[in-house]
Amino acid sequence: MKRFLYLLLFLPLYTFSQPQSIRQQVIKIASGIKAQVGVSAMIVETGDTVNYHAGDKFPMQSVYKLPIAIAVLHQVELGRLSLNQRIKVSPAEIIPVGVSPIRDHYPHGVTLSILELLRYNISDSDGSACDVLIRILGGCQKINQYIHGVGIRDIAISTTEMVQVSDDWVQYRNWVKPEAMLLLLKKFYAGLLLNRSHNELLLNLMIKSGPGAKRLKGMLPAQAVVAHKPGSSGTHYGLTRATNDVGIVTLPNNKHLLIAIFIADTYADTEEREGVIAQITKTAWDTWGK
């Protein structure tokens, strides 16, 4: 009898955290593309969770700009950096290919505030801004130490954008498990990593993100509030190694969806890859937003 009561006590926790209906839908959507797909999602207010290959490693691409931004703001809070501090961006730091409005506007270099660099890094996904932020933080190892130190272990920030854009294989050195990215989003949204003003600053930069509009936001109403950070690799010989989006979605019932979706190593076209991310997000919206 005691054993039965013990099992009864813990059974609801499992069904509560892994709703079978949404998990079945996620599996169906993810199985429809020939790719490695990883999903980790949770409702902040209830703890409802769904995972799919959430313990596998995926290349982050520009998703890693989110933990880098958090690390910068942490240094601001420690008084070691200032948002108004001016930083010189030399021509040698400007990435030759890939996304970089800084390169497009200031090919010979420029001096920008840390706040401006954060905006370029998050809202525009600028690889040059990212590398400058890595530099002022003391390098990738320092960022890793900070992120691991706050309890996010299954993540590796190993290279700059400059190194990454020159070799398609390097991106696998900047990896994360979806469940670890979800934990980062959870700690960030709960205010466990930054103070309120810096949390709001970063959320607003994520809401204004231009790239990846057809991913998490792709099938949601136009007025949906989505704070997100996408990441994308190039496509070489038809193979796309990374199509990702992670973020925080405000649902119609005012609950908040934390979600991380990664698609790796596929010959599927852009529409199909982004469509999978959009469909999974819409499924979570419909299931948990009522």
CATH number for the domain harbouring residue 186: 3.40.710.10
Residue 68 has pLDDT above 80, yes or no: yes
CA 147 to chain centre: 14
Beta bridge partners of 86: 113
Predicted local distance difference test score (pLDDT) of residue 165: 85
Predicted local distance difference test score (pLDDT) of residue 8: 36
Predicted local distance difference test score (pLDDT) of residue 168: 87
Percent of the chain scoring above 90 in pLDDT: 91
CA 14 to chain centre: 26
Instruction: Work out the average pLDDT over 19-47.
Output: 95
Q: Is 126 inside any structural domain?
A: yes
* Tens of pLDDT, residues 214-232: 999 999 999 999 999 999 9
CB 122 within 8 A of CB 205: yes
Predicted local distance difference test score (pLDDT) of residue 202: 99
- For 220, the token pair is 């949601």
Query: Residue 66's closest CA among 282, 269, 258, 240?
Result: 258
Q: Is 150 inside any structural domain?
A: yes
Exposed, middle or buried: residue 168 (CB in 10 Å: 0-12, 13-18, 19+)? middle
Residue 20 has pLDDT above 90, yes or no: no
Predicted local distance difference test score (pLDDT) of residue 4: 39
Q: Is 275 inside any structural domain?
A: yes
8-12, 22-26, 172-176, 257-261: segment of lowest average pLDDT: 8-12
- For 139, the token pair is 């390098």
Q: Is 5 inside any structural domain?
A: no
Give how many domains the chain has, as a whole number: 1
Element (H, E) at 41: strand 36-43
Of the candidates 100, 123, 128, 161, the residue annotated as catalytic is 161
Q: Active site includes 62?
A: yes
Q: Is 51 inside any structural domain?
A: yes
What is the distance between the alpha carbons of residues 83 and 91, in angstroms, rounded to a whole number? 22
Exposed, middle or buried: residue 187 (CB in 10 Å: 0-12, 13-18, 19+)? middle
- Ramachandran bin of 113, using left for φ above 0, alpha for ψ from -120 to 50, beta for the remaining angles: beta
CB 261 within 8 A of CB 39: yes
Instruction: Work out the average pLDDT over 142-164.
Output: 97
Range of the domain at 284: 17-288
For residue 79, what pLDDT band results from cuts at 50, 70 and 90? very high
Predicted local distance difference test score (pLDDT) of residue 3: 46
- For 141, the token pair is 């190892």
Q: Is 202 inside any structural domain?
A: yes
Q: Active site includes 271?
A: no
Of the candidates 62, 123, 209, 232, the residue annotated as catalytic is 62
Q: Would you call 262 helix, strand, or coil by DSSP?
A: strand
For the chain, strand residue ranges (E) read 36-43, 49-52, 58-59, 86-89, 110-113, 155-156, 175-176, 226-232, 235-236, 239-240, 243-250, 256-264
Exposed, middle or buried: residue 131 (CB in 10 Å: 0-12, 13-18, 19+)? buried
Instruction: Work out the average pLDDT over 232-245.
Output: 97
